[in-house]
Structure 1
């Protein structure tokens, strides 16, 4: 079980993951609605769609990557193309309480950064839909950086650029392996399981107050 790291050190910046922290990302649920659970299970068990998406996250051309994968798997050609054509339907809704914590931290004067596995073109689409994605002080996105979490390199690149020591960074992410890499580098961390628990963590750290939300 991952525990929060909550040292008394000053927080220099708060670093947010995006998917499943600020925006819900559960493609399986949408495919269940679109093609039925049985066919979705068959497709996801026979094809590694998340590995396909990882290529986009690491900087691969969005449409070409998805369409090439669809061409190579004609049994599910149309459904795979939806990963590109209906991407905005999958990346939603915003997790409102988490967005409120981001804005509360900014009002309190804390820099807020994004550290996210996110393709270049998908982020443009997401930013047009979700205005709060323009509110980060700095964004560290895998699609632009050519490396993705949990690879330690992307954390090191953030450290080298942001002007804060690792110990002064508070990082929130929903994936245990991403938290583990940050822990190993001395970051302060919170393993995201719900927006309410994340907000309560910030309140307990006296970074924000309930009235801020």
Structure 2
């Protein structure tokens, strides 16, 4: 029996698309060249493991003088990459909680960036439990982060239903016996919640 529902945040509750933002700043071909040369997502992983937000990005930018100013925008324009919210997903989160079903977050997110995002998106302060990689020192899909969730909440296996937009993160949770849903849009997630008997069609609308 499902005892808690776990939401990823990026591309589940809020959109996360750095490439789209950079395509507004520079020609697409130039953006592709930068992302091919510079491991910006690897840089972001450092932040998601607990590295300082601005210092990590600015130090990384200094290693690539040609791209320095553009890389710094990862910090300066961060909220524009982490937007907008996905309204139906937020409604589903609140509908579950209204029925007394605990909702947790399990997210790769930095300490500074999560604090920042909570100030912009109040619903990010409303989880029953928030498991944030920056505070945990480990990121998805590493097995340890899922173990830490189980140790903290006292639930495991089929007691947990987890949605995430990345197949590798879902696979790692599935390997631990969690119920999982690969998030490809709020419609499919709503249907899964209805199918599991957690929400009615009306509640999931």
TM-score (structure 2 length as normaliser) = 0.98
What are the equivalent positions in structure 2 for 1:53-202 lying under 5 Å apart?
Answer: 53-202=44-193
Could you list the structure 1 runs, at least 4 aligned residues long, displaced by more than 4 angstroms after superposition: none
Measure, in 2, the Cα distance between the counterparts of 1:185 and 1:100.
28
Measure, in 1, the Cα distance between the counterparts of 2:156 and 2:14.
28
Tell me by how many angstroms 1:151 deviates: 0.2
Tell me by how many angstroms 1:36 deviates: 1.9
Structure 2 counterpart of 1:30, from 15, 18, 21: 21
Deviations 1:70-91 (A, max 9, x none): 0010101010000001101110
Measure, in 1, the Cα distance between the counterparts of 2:157 and 2:52.
32
Measure, in 1, the Cα distance between the counterparts of 2:44 and 2:27.
21
**Counterpart of 1:171 in 2: which secondary structure?**
strand
User: Aligned pair count?
Assistant: 204
Measure, in 1, the Cα distance between the counterparts of 2:201 and 2:65.
52
Measure, in 2, the Cα distance between the counterparts of 1:201 and 1:166.
17
Measure, in 2, the Cα distance between the counterparts of 1:25 and 1:210.
28
Tell me by how many angstroms 1:167 deviates: 2.1
TM-score (structure 1 length as normaliser) = 0.94
**Counterpart of 1:56 in 2: which secondary structure?**
helix
Tell me by how many angstroms 1:38 deviates: 1.4
Tell me by how many angstroms 1:208 deviates: 0.7
Q: Which residue of 1 aligns with 2:32?
A: 41
Structure 2 counterpart of 1:11, from 2, 17, 42: 2
Tell me by how many angstroms 1:107 deviates: 0.6
Matched, 1:205 2:196: yes
Measure, in 2, the Cα distance between the counterparts of 1:11 and 1:109.
12
Q: Which runs of 5+ in 2 are unaligned?
A: none
Q: Which residue of 2 aligns with 1:5?
A: none
